Structure 1
């Protein structure tokens, strides 16, 4: 079981380090295109550098899932675009939030929302965040493969399908408001850290790394006027240098 939290407040290097020191292993952050709660590529780098894993959750409004299939396709497309922008690796998971007490009458629409979001994000595993009833219904329908249950609206019941369980809301830790979570494996979390536990004998050829930097990363760095994107490209170039045994710049 892993200890984690979710929050709407972006983490700094200082807060990420504090949570890591406290034994937290993962943080759930918002994979959305805009707004104060969104995860940025720069924040993802800071979180990864402190050894925390990231769980991506897409949520614009609490009851967005009531938009059904059309909303799911649109949100999936948006999530896919944002994931690419921040560097979330394919094969990890994007959770879509059902952040309200969905009734049995609303469940077919919720299921269609999640199923459509899954169709729109084929390179990623798809998860749902919601109550016991939501997790059970979506799991039974086979609409996605990962499940994050909140204790809210769940009446003390826990689904056996859970990969993540949110067990406490609205507390303050390390100076920010968080909810507390625990996970049980196969969560689909991710990191931008270069330490993937691989063999030290496997190294990228320095010439190949420099070719990638010279032909793609450097031109992109000069063309963009977005400082966040510049920071990400600089970090990416240094990851290639490190992977090929060169000193970072």
Structure 2
């Protein structure tokens, strides 16, 4: 059985966790409560990346207050507290790299009664639901509180399981069969947990293939299959190499997903794949963050799946007879592409070199590496590509991007085949001759012209402070310029760009003060810089002055000699 650890004292070396035989970390995204100083509350984005680089899955948990502490238990704060903590949890979860489609588990870390649940705790979870939605809300607690949360429909479900993490504490011999996690070892002074990298940890049994880990894309409906962990030691580090391709393979034998996995787990055999698949059973042999031993020098940038029991010599009829497995392989490929940010394009014979989903023969013919010819000449690429397109379309972005492009003729010719996932695994984008279209489920699809994209790229695209675009670009008259100016709103502010000049980002208190002064038509004119750090605050330069901000104070000055003239706020 696969296990996960949880801990709060300090950030434990991910490599030590993996070496101890665990496959996941249940990571806190809540801050330390007043008077406490937990080194692992909350985790950081760098630590989350280190966990995934070590092949470990990550799950988000929230626990701020404590029974008997001046900061009360979270569940006692009712609906308003649940809504407030849901907002805090989501913001931190996203900031450290958690995807929007992954659940967050909220702790009920004491032996509450049904009366306490009905009077207060259930309202706390309804407050969380108001922010995250039921599908992204999970619970930690004893067997009964998990059951109550499931029965009152305040936690999400995946198949026969729910986002319930049962602790052994206060549960006695009871087990909640719908839970995805079971905290079997609880570190206490009387019964210390195992020591990893000098720190004691709790140990949790993983009871379902989907236990809330960040790595799974839940934005589309998965085909029915059983995913099992058969992790071994046949792998290498990717050494920071970006993944660009998902590769399909044949076994050239009669194995099952599990028997092939067992063979691959012997490092002496010198071969491995990330996944083996047969009869709707998917075995995970190597975590995607590590390189399998599949395609020689292409290992560092590929994810590899082998159809157990398959052969290069199969006819088209033999391949289409396992259509259910073809659909599962397509789903896993799209899931992987969205997770790592590479293209979902299907690259079939005659091959072209590029990002996307393909087979071992692509590595031979297009990349010139090795001599393999699987998956063979009769593989039904048209059927498989149809499955991939269905899962890509299921994310919602493709049709929205197409619709926006159709309404935006200035974009010109499309350069991207289909759409590409953004780094968070949720959004999508496509490139056109004169700009891009970015889509996110909370902002819809909006076109960004190339002139604005330069500033967007400088600020790290959607991963940076601008976030996603929230409106179409607008043209602004500029009597003092050489042509119309452009402005585009994003989640984190607005980019203004005069013709022939760089774009600048205006936001926050300085943006509000500039707006009060009349935007570009006011006494300060157009922005001519981004914000610049200054003493204890920042300032931003405009054509005819500056706006200074320090905590709780903002001053606008117009250039008028020495000293400059403070601008009065409009009445």
TM-score normalised per structure 2: 0.36
**C-alpha separation in 2, matches of 1:20 and 1:224:** 43
Structure 2 residue aligned with 1:45: 49
The alpha carbon displacement at 1:200 in A equals: 8.2
Structure 2 residue aligned with 1:105: 115
Matched, 1:165 2:182: yes
Q: In the superposition, relative to structure 1, how do residues 78 and 220 fare at CA in structure 2: closer, same or farther (>3 Å)?
A: closer
Q: Look up the SS of the partner of 1:149 in the other structure.
A: strand
Q: Look up the SS of the partner of 2:214 in the other structure.
A: coil
Q: In the superposition, relative to structure 1, how do residues 123 and 158 fare at CA in structure 2: closer, same or farther (>3 Å)?
A: closer
Q: In the superposition, relative to structure 1, how do residues 89 and 224 fare at CA in structure 2: closer, same or farther (>3 Å)?
A: farther
**C-alpha separation in 2, matches of 1:93 and 1:150:** 18
**TM-superposition CA deviations, 1:170-213 (whole Å, max 9, x none):** 1132121211101122211115996464498742879969x687
Structure 1 residue aligned with 2:83: 73
Compare 189-198 and 54-63 and name the one that shifted more.
189-198
Counterpart selection for 2:23 from 4, 21, 25: 25
The alpha carbon displacement at 1:220 in A equals: 5.0
More helix by share: 1
The alpha carbon displacement at 1:67 in A equals: 1.3
1:144-155 alignment to 2 at 5 Å? 144-145=155-156, 146-155=163-172
Q: Look up the SS of the partner of 1:68 in the other structure.
A: helix
Runs of 4+ in 1 over 3 A off after TM superposition: 191-202, 204-209, 218-225
More strand by share: 2
Structure 1 residue runs without a partner (length 5+): 226-249
Cα contact 2:108–2:139 (8 A) shared by 1 = yes
Cα contact 1:93–1:187 (8 A) shared by 2 = no
Structure 1 residue aligned with 2:127: 116
Cα contact 1:27–1:55 (8 A) shared by 2 = yes
Aligned length in residues: 223
TM-score normalised per structure 1: 0.78
Structure 2 residue aligned with 1:230: none
Q: In the superposition, relative to structure 1, how do residues 191 and 201 fare at CA in structure 2: closer, same or farther (>3 Å)?
A: closer
Structure 2 residue runs without a partner (length 5+): 67-72, 157-162, 188-192, 217-241, 244-287, 289-334, 346-354, 357-415, 421-429, 437-452, 466-529, 534-571
Cα contact 1:169–1:180 (8 A) shared by 2 = yes
Compare 199-208 and 172-181 and name the one that shifted more.
199-208
Cα contact 1:26–1:52 (8 A) shared by 2 = yes
Which structure has more RCO (C-alpha within 8 Å, separation ≥ 6)? 1
Which one has the largest radius of gyration? 2
Q: In the superposition, relative to structure 1, how do residues 224 and 28 fare at CA in structure 2: closer, same or farther (>3 Å)?
A: farther
**C-alpha separation in 2, matches of 1:123 and 1:223:** 39
